[in-house]
Structure 1
């Protein structure tokens, strides 16, 4: 082989290597809604890297950025459920940010990744609905209020749905109790991340009362028909303060939280939920309505 042929081969091999690296990196970003990944921590690394590169180099439009944020939260939740430790995932994200900081915005690999991600999310950004762990998200616009992000549960025979309904920016719980007794108050109960920063995963239960937070509903009204559970004709919608969203987002995806309904006679009806991929669902909604 001549010197010229060697040089040409080296150039060709270098181009193929760059394309392969870009393909591998973009590949982890394309299976957005898959239920599991062979290596969720690696997927989280890839998505964190692209987000960090986007923050530096302004690679993507806002809708694609929101989709990538949803994908990163989704991958993080999958990694935690597969047994990854919070500390390890924090280190993974730090490595991704460090790598992104060391790469030029003009790097050809990054340009290839940008093109592939843009192509993949061009279709994904038009998806009106997506199911995340524990949550159903819906970006469609209807003439009457419906759920945008919702998780369903029950308290005895009463169906309870919790999430963002209609155009309301705060979380609410819609419940349909049979019979005449109605609750006089409602609250969301969960771990207080400011008092207990680490997740509480013992026996799938809430932590001790001393490190819980109680977020009482700020109001109640008849529920819109589109927010009622199937075959229910009436119910109440309990609205919770705005900071409930931040408190829920601070939970580990595996942690439970409760919605309690308090009655005048002192009895309490409880519906159980799981934090799941709440943050991923919120990021999906941030892509805008369709």
Structure 2
């Protein structure tokens, strides 16, 4: 029976949940079981399960093998089988509520991503993690609006400093160092990659930290968001602000379930 492959077994271990959701996604890829919105919800749930399994002690190799087993089982299951129809129905029921959910929190080891699918006329945070550098609040994530495509951004309101001359996001370069770097710091310089901000604007009021009257929004290319999605959720990355005097201010963020948050946003605005 395929009943154990549903994503609603509350008592399953994290790696088991990852297997279940990987199986359902693979079956959906092959058999076209679900509409795009539900597929996006399942993708978010699969990313969440992967992150939970890694934080619980699984490693990349184990999860790659788990995903391969799930794909193999899905590949050998007839699309018209009664068991798969039962699984499909249970998934439809389990995830039906997601279509009405506008906000979600994606907790990590130390920090969390806050996601918001609500449609706003003005730019707002669709996916955001917040920290502080010195006395200056820094927000980082995905900004969007009803008539504005999603874009990766860092918003900062500097306390007692002039505006930076440049900003970059720095993380592990998976093409050079394929294994996750789990030291709660950046890997050695030779194993890093950086994405520079492509532009800067005055931050809309809805993007600012509470109590801050003004700030700058630094905008990054889409490739930076894709690279962040590929990080291990236990890894960190930094946003580095470079100043005219040669100094650098760094804000550290946790990769966490950034990929799951993006998949949640892919369900569409409501």
TM-score, normalised with respect to structure 1: 0.87
Q: Distance in 1 between matches of 2:17 and 2:236?
A: 25
Say whether 1:206 aligns with 2:180: no
Match of 2:236 in 1: 256
Deviation at 1:213, TM superposition (A): 0.6
Cα distance in structure 1, aligned partners of 2:212 and 2:192: 32
Aligned with 2:105 (options 127, 131, 134): 131
Q: How much does 1:197 deviate? A: 0.8
What is residue 246 of structure 1 aligned with on the other side?
Answer: 226
Aligned-CA RMSD value: 1.4
Per-residue CA distance 1:250-277 (angstroms, 9 max, x = gap): 2110000000111111111111101000
Correspondence 1:25-64 to 2 at 5 A: 25-26=5-6, 28-29=7-8, 38-64=12-38
Q: Structure 1: any 5+ residue segments left out of the alignment?
A: 1-17, 32-36
Higher helix share: 1
Classify the secondary structure of the residue corresponding to 1:29.
coil
CA contact (8 A) 1:30 1:117 kept: no
TM-score, structure 2 normalization = 0.94
> Quick check: which has more Rg, 1 or 2?
1
Higher strand share: 2
CA distance in 2: counterparts of 1:88 and 1:39, whole angstroms: 14
Displacement after TM superposition at 1:170 (Å): 2.5
The SS at the match of 2:175 is coil
Q: Distance in 2 between matches of 1:106 and 1:241?
A: 43
CA distance in 2, matches of 1:201, 1:99: 32
> In the alignment, which residue of structure 2 is the partner of 1:217?
197
Deviation at 1:38, TM superposition (A): 4.8
Report which stretch shifted further, 222-231 or 241-250.
Answer: 241-250
Find the counterpart in structure 2 of residue 161 from structure 1.
139
Please name the residue that 2:40 is paired with: 66
| Structure 2 unaligned residues grouped into runs of 5+ | none
- Which structure 2 residues correspond to residues 1-290 of structure 1 after superposition, within 5 A? 18=1, 21-22=2-3, 24-26=4-6, 28-29=7-8, 38-133=12-107, 134-166=112-144, 167-179=148-160, 181-202=162-183, 204-290=184-270
